[in-house]
Structure 1
Amino acid sequence: MELTETHTLPVAQQRTWDALNDMEILRACIPGCESIDPDGEDAYQVALSAAVGPVKARFKGRMQLTDIDAPTSYTIVFEGQGGAAGFAKGNARVTLEADGDDATKLSYTASAQVGGKLAQIGSRLVDGAARKIAGEFFKRFGVLVGADTEPGADAAPDNAGPAADSTARDNTASTEAADESSGGDATKRKKSWTAWISKS
């Protein structure tokens, strides 16, 4: 499988690079991702659930970042096992290019090999699923990293540090994740909103 795409993101190059190296942000943006845990220098253990055509499975694998040239490019080398569903391995070259002061052009070229049931369902279904997952990732990523740059956004200012990033992640993760991890915050926001209305 070969996949080449370019996306323009509404944030500066350095901010985009920082987000691409923030595993919590990546976890929130990758569809079906359950965990990304450190496993050595620039390496991570990844667990995610995915559906490719009729094949649904939970994959566990390893991701290694190589050829790092901050804040311009790196290569992701990955391999994963999905039990009876089969396996996937390959690499992706990611490059960033400033598009003005407040936008970044992200390009990537990925190649992968699949085996087991994944290989049996045909390249069209595999390619289609890969493009769908990539599209959803960049949709979430663009919203998440651009949240604190939009006028009137609710996100905390940049100088709030990790807390601001945490808030942005909680607000833009999937609905299920938000229900599990941010239910208390949502209740507080609702109470604050109700109090504001009652004072009006």
Structure 2
Amino acid sequence: MNEQQTAAILFALHGVPGSQKDSTLNEQLRYFGLTDEEQHAAKSRLLDQFQNGIGRLNKNQLANLMELSAAGATAAASIRNKLNFYEVAPHFQENINEFLRQYAAGSVAVESDELDAEFRGVQVASRDNFNTIINQGWTGDWDLNPDNIHVRRVQVASMNEEGLFPRGYYLNADIRDIQPIPYEGKTRYRIFIANPVIINTGNRNVKFIAQPVRYK
């Protein structure tokens, strides 16, 4: 779990009431493929970071600080003054500043093919809900050439601006079959998947090229 992913989870925790924090953490962590022991340790660490950091702020206070942090290094004094005004103890301020730094890093523009540099297969950019893709067992229909897919893997990068899986999320899966589908006098291809895994990179500013299909 990298810094941007940690910040994204902490921010998600801040947006739900206390009674939902445990279920929110479980939902966020289920995509990391952790063992029960690892997930328990991660939950404890994240809750500690939250309670001793941005959990000390209300919604408006956090929004104000995040707006200030967008200015970069020049905002340090303003953020410190705000935290003092909010009467946040110094030992909590350090964790809050760390969150602001990590969250801001997720705003840096990144090309979609850089989300997972080690991925090999075919990458597609989609606005489809990942749960829908998983439940139906396929993604498509895509204008692609199956002969160009040398590794039987597909990565679906989210193009959504909001929702459960916005930009920064991607779904990796094995390709178990590729079927031609007639489409407006042409042929497109439906990719049937197996072993899907959803990953949140924490990068919110993902850039896409006009062509939604990349071979990697």
Taking structure 1 as the reference length, the TM-score comes to 0.32
Taking structure 2 as the reference length, the TM-score comes to 0.30
Greater per-residue strand proportion: 1
